[in-house]
Every structure is written in structure tokens, then in C-alpha cells.
Amino acid sequence: MKTLDRKTEGELIKEVIIEKMDNLSHGQWFYSVIYYGDYGNDGLVRDWEDRRWLYNLEHMRHVHSRHRNSLREHFGRQVCLFFTMERHKSTYERIEEGPHIQYGDEKKGKYHTNLIIGPITDRQIEEPKSKLKRLWDTHGRLGIPISSNYYDDVTDLKIDLINSCLRLHPDVNRYEPSVKTQVLEGLDDLDFVKHYSLKDMTRKDLDFMEVLDTDNSDIN
């Protein structure tokens, strides 16, 4: 019965997301995965004091709040956001005593973020407001400024702008693997992303408050 309750919660949340997306203006929706690396922009391992917060649920809500403010500052107040949190796989303390190996306490993995963002219209990009224009001076693909890149497709430009905006957070380094963004082409993509983002509610039997960041997601 407990599993059924988790599934019911998940389905209700998915329905809220679908309704929100159906009711908003036309434009493209995107899905981003944000990784918070152990390495800084200088390529060196960051101090543990700077990294240990990435294992803390409440800290991640603050990280999302900053992402939310930044995305809305650059892309406009109308942009809709859904943040979910997912832990990396746990590890166990490795204890070696001569030829013998034992495993001690569990160390839970750090978090990464799944983000659904939209809608973003072509007009927003083709006629950018001053705050969005600032992102053209940040690094895009190939590690060069977005203004120096050539884009055959406005969708590719939108992806670079989203990635660059998310990398403004100090916990996200400037290297390409830190943020992965893709456009959601149709209902199949949307359905997959909704299920994937909320999968830990049923797979790990987590409460939806441990998965969906309700403080920073547009579910009301």
C-alpha cells in the first residue's frame, strides 16, 4: 500500500506539471541536468569545506533558489521551472587490514539537479532584452564566448544560453560536462523526463518532498 501511495503522489505531481505546461504560451521546453563538481574552474579539487554542502538537502534548495533567480533575471519572469534532486550512488568506507578488506559506514552520494525549463520563444532570443544580452559575453560551446560562435539553429543558441546561465553558480564549473541540456521535442520526450525526474519516489521509496523542490518549482 505504501508503494501505491508513492505512485499516486508521483502521478499527481506529473499531472500538475503537464497542466502547467499545457496552459503556458507556446515556446520550446528544455531539460537540463546540472552536476556539481569536485573540481573548480582552475581544474583543481575544491576544498572539502566548499564541497561538503553538495551532500545536504537544504543546501541544494538554496542552490536551486539562486538558479531560479538567475534564470528569471535573464530569461524573464514568465519562464516556468521544475527542480528535482537526485543523489549519486552511495559508497562505503573501505578498511584494509593486511590481506583483508572490510566496508564500514555508508557515505551517501552528493546531489545533482534535474531541471525542466520553459517556454523559451525564438523572439526572446532574436530580440533579447539587456539582461539576456549579457550572456552573449559568457562562454558557450568549445569554451569560447557565445558571441563568437556561429549557430545554424536558434535552438542550439538557446541551449548554450541556458547552460551558460546555470554555470554562473559557483558550485557549477565552466567545463562542458557540468551541465547537459536538451530540447524536449514532443510528448514522448516530456513523458520520459517527467518519469525520470521523479523516479526516486518509487525506486527508492522517497517522499516527494525529498525529490521535488517545491520551494523553487512552479507547482502552485
pLDDT digit string, tens, across residues 178-204 = 999 999 887 777 777 776 777 666 666
Which pLDDT value is given to residue 107?
A: 66
Domain limits of the chain?
2-210
Residue (of 8, 36, 11, 220) closest to 115 by Cα position:
36
Flag whether pLDDT at 7 surpasses 70: no
pLDDT digit string, tens, across residues 130-181 = 999 999 999 888 788 999 999 999 999 999 999 999 999 999 988 878 999 9
Cell output for 211: 525529490
Look up the pTM and report it: 0.81
DSSP letters for the chain: -HHHHHHHHHHHHHHHHHHHHHHSPS-EEEEEEEE--SB-TTSSBPPHHHHGGGG-HHHHHHHHHHHHHHHHHHH-TT-EEEEEEEEPPPEEEEEEETTEEEEEEEEPPPEEEEEEEEEE-HHHHHS--HHHHGGGGSB-GGGSBGGGS--SSHHHHHHHHHHHHHTTSTTS-SSGGGEEEEE--SHHHHHHHHHHHTTHHHHS---GGGTB-TTTS---
pLDDT tier at 103 (50, 70, 90 boundaries)? very low
CB 104 within 8 A of CB 44: no
